[in-house]
Copies of this chain bind each other. A is one copy, B any other.
Amino acid sequence: MNIIYGVIGVSLLALIFALVKFVQISGKDAGDKKTKEIAKTIHDGAMTFLQKEYKILLIFIIIVAAVLFWIDKDPTHFRGESMLCFLLGAFFSGLAGNIGMRIATKANVRTAIASKKSLNEGLKVAFSSGTVMGMSVVGLGLLGVTLLYLWIGEPNVIFAFGFGASSIALFARVGGGIYTKAADVGADLVGKVEKGIPEDDPRNPATIADNVGDNVGDVAGMGADLFESYVDSLIAAMVLGVLITTQAPNAVILPLILAALGIVCSLLGVALVRTGKSGSAAAALNKGIFGAAILMAIVSGFVILKLTGNLNFYFSMLAGLGGGVIIGLSTEYYTSTERKPVQEIAEASKTGPATNIISGLGLGMISTIIPVLAVCAAMGIAFYFGSAVTSSAIGGMYGIAIAAVGMLSTLGITLATDSYGPVADNAAGIAEMAGLGPEIRKRTESLDAVGNTTAAIGKGFAIGSAALTALALFVTFSQVTGMTTIDIIDHRVMIGLFIGGLLPFIFSALTMKAVGRAAEDMVIEVRRQFRTIKGIMEGKAKPDYKRCIDISTEAALRQMILPSVIAILTPILLGLWSLEAVGGLLAGTLVTGFLLAVFMANSGGAWDNAKKYIEEGNLGGKGSDTHKAAVVGDTVGDPFKDTSGPALNILIKLISIVALVFLPLFI
């Protein structure tokens, strides 16, 4: 048991680290009145969104908690135990997101000001704020799961904790995704296209909403998404671990120990992040990420050998860690301006927007190959070594869950680099809006450019880990229900499979439609302000930023209800008909959702960078017809990569968790 207290100690360490960084960043210079005012508007906008979101969330959580209490009929525990787990999960995930948003909206302006001194200073502030988010997520996640395990003792009940996290993730990712793209597309359509003013121009009424969106979608949304993957993979592995304790006595606590180890490695990785003489921010971040991963790959071997007596689960874990790296690299390949795929899209833009779109869609589809094969390979390897421990399939399934845990073990630092992106993006925006001069603007933009690459890799990683986590949840589902087979020959399973395959299409369509509608509202409002508020274009009058923020907020929260309800109700309704159908449903959603998510994320990322490639002066540069064609692709890609694609990460995990938590209803 002592080792469990060690785990709790490590998770507290992560939280203390986050707290120290939080205080440090808060103490940094936030510049003059102008920069402070801009930062405050962004901060207030982000907080307004959170508060409004919390109101709706509260209703949702009360309803779900009541249902959980009502269906909780397990006589071995006191009634309401799973309800309490659920509430705690929602609270912890919400807390992590709140901390992340607070620090991101503090760090953006401080990054801009720190860039006055040097690139390295700017990098330090932006990345530090990322570590606050990263460490809060892993600290709270691990702490929550470990405490509940100590208290309840049976990992199965803790799934409700994961469900709480899923609920927050749903609202943060889907709502946040709609918010950010409604603001972005709306701001661009009127500002750039109609009025011809640059990105982040303070005369654009939607520009603050756009910057708020970066925080809402990319910080809070991404954080909640990965918080969910993190805790879900831990719980799934623990539940499966219970089933193999005779052959592997430490199987239940091994996931917790690996997670704790991962936090330590991440903290050491964080220490490695600093720009060298060359001053490359990208190299600095890579040093941290790969340093942590290599460290983890070395240390965990010894730990697993000591705990289990052999290295089988170590190889299972490595399969997950390796799969994550491969998916990240493949994302980088398909979305980098320096590689052939993106340049081919740019080439295709020469013959107009239609060929740009066809080319981008084709690229996204073909880019699914490596991630799918990586997940298959990770699954196969993890299963092979896992089953060697127990000489049975159940050990292999545990191995798959350990692969997911392995992939997510260094989340503390990978998430830090993800959250770094929007902070740098915001810093560049504030530098422009406050007119901090070309030197600082250039530095913040170079920080931002690195952020784009880390964001792309981070997206690939988020999708891959969601898929592996969902796979672990699926396997757990099959074991917890006591189903010996989920047989596709059975027509109920096949029907489930079809409906499961259908869900990601519905989900994507609804979220894309939501962005379209919300962006339209935004366009109308921005046009109205330009028309009715005299002197905006001359910079004499201030636009009504708040009104735009409100529009994004309300649209996002209103439009996310239907997809959310569908995602939650489908497994429940199908479960009331047939448990077999639910099995098919989970598998169908997992496969199609994973494919669509990779497709959409990579198409979107590639379109974005094809446009940037042309803006760098290639193929006619900015303003050419080729560039105009590329802008069309970029706009289509916005909801692809930042709304619908990421929302699918939530969907594939959420329906599994719903199926697991509402199991008492079905049997």
Contacts and interface: CB of A to CB of B under 8 A. Distances in A.
Given A369-B506, A379-B495, A383-B491, A513 B362 contact: yes
A498 B377 CA distance: 11
Contact of A358 (B489, B512, B523): B512
A591 B516 contact: no
A216 to B, nearest CB: 21
A595 interface: yes
A575 interface: no
Contacts of A635: 352, 354-355, 358
Interface string A328-372: 000000000000000000001001111101110111011011001
A479 B490 CA distance: 12
B368 A505 contact: yes
Interface in A553-586: 583-584
Interface stretch (A74-82, A480-488, A543-551, A655-663): A480-488
A111 interface: no
A636 B358 contact: yes
B358 A491 contact: no
Contact of A502 (B487, B506, B595): B595
Nearest to A354: B635
Contacts of A595: 501-502, 505, 592
A376 interface: yes
Contacts of A294: none
A508 interface: yes
A495 to B, nearest CB: 5
Interface in A584-641: 584, 587-588, 591-592, 594-595, 599, 631-632, 635-636, 639
Among A369, A500, A588, find the residue whose CB has the most chain B CB atoms closer than 10 A.
A588
Contact of A516 (B355, B368, B369): B355
A494 interface: yes
B488 A583 contact: yes
Contacts of A283: none
Contacts of A495: 376, 379-380
A497 interface: yes
Copies of this chain, complex-wide, total 2
Nearest to A486: B488
A478 interface: yes
A383 B397 CA distance: 32
A199 interface: no
Contact of A372 (B491, B499, B520): B499
Interface in A528-556: none
Given A491-B379, A495-B380, A506 B366 contact: yes
A497 B366 contact: no
A366 B632 contact: no
**In which size bucket is the chain A interface?**
35 or more
B351 A520 contact: yes
A504 to B, nearest CB: 9
A400 interface: yes
A133 to B, nearest CB: 30
Contacts of A513: 359, 362, 366
Contacts of A505: 365-366, 368, 595, 599
Interface in A387-427: 393, 396-397, 400
A375 interface: yes
A352 B632 contact: yes
Contacts of A397: 489, 491
A284 to B, nearest CB: 36
A140 to B, nearest CB: 32
Given A354-B635, A509-B366, A491 B380 contact: yes
B639 A591 contact: no
A189 interface: yes
A189 B363 CA distance: 22
Contacts of A383: 491
A325 to B, nearest CB: 19
B501 A592 contact: yes
A226 interface: no
A383 B505 CA distance: 26
B502 A475 contact: no
A366 to B, nearest CB: 4
A434 B500 CA distance: 53
27 contacts: A189-B352, A351-B520, A352-B632, A353-B353, A353-B632, A354-B632, A354-B636, A357-B632, A357-B636, A361-B509, A362-B512, A362-B516, A363-B509, A365-B509, A366-B506, A369-B506, A372-B498, A372-B502, A379-B495, A485-B489, A497-B587, A501-B592, A501-B594, A505-B599, A591-B591, A591-B592, A632-B632
Sorted from nearest, which 10 A-B pairs have the closest CB atoms? Answer: A354-B635, A365-B509, A366-B509, A501-B591, A485-B487, A365-B505, A383-B491, A478-B489, A362-B512, A376-B495
Interface of A: 189, 193, 348, 351-355, 357-359, 361-363, 365-366, 368-369, 372-373, 375-376, 379-380, 383, 393, 396-397, 400, 471, 475, 478, 483, 485-491, 493-495, 497-502, 505-506, 508-510, 512-513, 515-516, 520, 523, 583-584, 587-588, 591-592, 594-595, 599, 631-632, 635-636, 639
Given A365-B506, A487-B488, A500-B591, 8 more contacts: A353-B354, A354-B636, A358-B635, A365-B509, A471-B494, A475-B489, A483-B489, A592-B595
